[in-house]
Structure 1
Amino acid sequence: MLQIHGVLDLIFWVLAIAAFCMCAWALFHAIRTPARAFAIAGKLSKPAWLAILGLAALFSFAAAVGYLGTLSIFTIASVIASGVYLADVKPAVGEIGRGGSSGSSGPYGPW
């Protein structure tokens, strides 16, 4: 007999792992991005994003290991914060490092 609660628990656990991976990816990108790129792009400062994404990674990890509920307000806020970073801030600060498209450029950047 199929136990629906076991299947749902597995689905929510996989979603919690995915949320943690998303938060960790956003935090890793924020750590590697220069602080100057955040100011040039007109976004929050690097320390502010590191604090937000660090807490997001902490809460999503707590949900993944079962310490915090998967559908708690902290887990949902963590996914929203990392989603905002990945959808809005990451592309904006990524354009800063490329240097534009004027002139000829090779496979490794402008010449």
Structure 2
Amino acid sequence: MELSFSGPPELLLQFWILKVIWLAGLPLGLYAFVHALLQRADAFTAVGKLSKPAWLGITGAGLVMLAVFTSGPITIIWLAGLVGVLVYLLDVRPKVTDVQRGSSW
């Protein structure tokens, strides 16, 4: 990943914001994939979400997008991967964790 900026000065802030988001997204993507990998398959369907293989595909593809497409005009690709990772972390993970914990609420 290239951390040097060679564009117009008014885009410098945008450049660094995207780099910080990207740097935060990589470990989040890895965590989401590993978390999905370690969960029981029936927990996903029990909470009305996509199947475990589907979420492994979404989080795995998101992680690959974050790792491969790091800069340039293809930034939109890693942002799309990050969206998939964040949907898993913010919507699916809490419900899957609760159903396996035996939460009655």
Q: Measured at CA, do residues 35 and 55 of structure 1 come closer, stay the same or move farther in structure 2, by a change above 3 Å?
A: same
* Structure 1 contact 53–82 (Cα < 8 Å) conserved: yes
* Structure 1 contact 60–78 (Cα < 8 Å) conserved: yes
Structure 2 equivalent of residue 56 of structure 1:
62
Structure 2 equivalent of residue 106 of structure 1:
none
Unmatched 5+ stretches in structure 1: 103-111
* Structure 1 contact 41–92 (Cα < 8 Å) conserved: yes
Q: Is residue 18 from structure 1 mapped to residue 21 from structure 2 by the alignment?
A: no
Structure 1 equivalent of residue 3 of structure 2:
none
| CA offset digits 1:41-73 (Å, max 9, x no partner) | 11000001111111100010114xx4x538622
| Partners of 1:11 and 1:70 in 2: CA distance | 15
> How many pairs does the alignment contain?
97
Higher mean C-alpha displacement, 7-16 vs 82-91: 7-16
Unmatched 5+ stretches in structure 2: 1-5
Amino-acid identity (%) = 34
Higher Cα Rg, which structure: 1
Structure 2 equivalent of residue 96 of structure 1:
99
**What is the identity, as a one-letter code, of the residue corresponding to 1:82?**
V
| Partners of 1:77 and 1:7 in 2: CA distance | 21
Computed over aligned residues only, the root mean square deviation of the Cα atoms, in angstroms, reads 2.5
Structure 2 equivalent of residue 74 of structure 1:
77
Q: TM-score when scaled to structure 1? A: 0.72
Larger relative helix fraction? 2
Q: TM-score when scaled to structure 2? A: 0.76
